[in-house]
Amino acid sequence: MNRIVVIAVHPDDETLGCGGTLLKHKANGDEVYWLILTKANQKITNIKGIESEQLRYIREVAAAYDFNNWKQLTFLTTELDNYPMVEIVVGISQYINELKPNIIFLHHYGDIHSDHHVAFSAIMSCIKNFRTPFIDRVLSFETLSEAEFAPAAQNYAFVPNVFSDITPYLEKKLEIMKLFTTEIMDEPFPRSLSTIRALARYRGARIGVEYAEAFMLLFEKI
């Protein structure tokens, strides 16, 4: 049995990036845990009561995945770069060292969102193998509306080398995505249901299946 932690800067990132794979791990009897690094920021939205609305759908999403446990840290979204790095590292490290997962899913380092950049650096600082010898595998996922908007430069490119067949799980992934009432987008924007399906179809074609998710393998112990 695997013990997996998916680290999402914002709730919905995990579903966009690896929701089908998380569902597959649960179906296979693995333990799956969800760490959310930020909370809703009322300063950047006109949606009244955004914090309570976000907490409501986080609970619904956690139940839909049947996560073994989840935790949301208190850093404000879009302001992660305003916090001392040590505070972010400590928050992540505490959760990882409490659970001792053997697989980590995290954001791609080239995502254009500033929160994602900060999070990637903080997470990688937390999982050096002499500090976390229990980790066997680290994979980064692509996040629609962030990964594909990165500059056209080689060091930002998402170049997947691991693919997960999520054909039996895509429809449930899309149903879970609908729960993110403040995040899902209208057609044909990046976080619309048709775009999520199209990306999964494209990634599936790479390995000869109907739908897939793609990852970059950052570390593996064999």
pLDDT at 150 over 90: no
How many CA atoms within 13 Å lie on the side-chain side of 66? 10
122 belongs to a structural domain: yes
The CATH number of whichever domain residue 145 belongs to comes to: 3.40.50.10320
67 belongs to a structural domain: yes
Q: Helix 50-65 vs helix 170-177: angle between axes, to the nearest 10 degrees?
A: 160
For residues 46-59, average pLDDT: 87
77 belongs to a structural domain: yes
Is 68 in contact with 32 (CB distance < 8 Å)?
yes
The whole model's pTM is what? 0.94
pLDDT at 146 over 90: no
* Number of domains forming the structure of the chain: 1
The number of residues in the chain equals 222
- Integer-rounded Cα Rg, in Å, for the chain is 16
How confident is the model at residue 87, as a pLDDT? Answer: 97
Is residue 77 very low, low, confident or very high in pLDDT (cuts 50, 70, 90)?
A: confident
Is residue 98 very low, low, confident or very high in pLDDT (cuts 50, 70, 90)?
A: very high
22 belongs to a structural domain: yes
222 belongs to a structural domain: no
Residues of the domain holding 97 = 3-217
- In this structure, of 58-67, 124-133, 140-149, the range with the lowest mean pLDDT score is 140-149
Cis check: omega of the bond before 160, within 30 degrees of 0: no
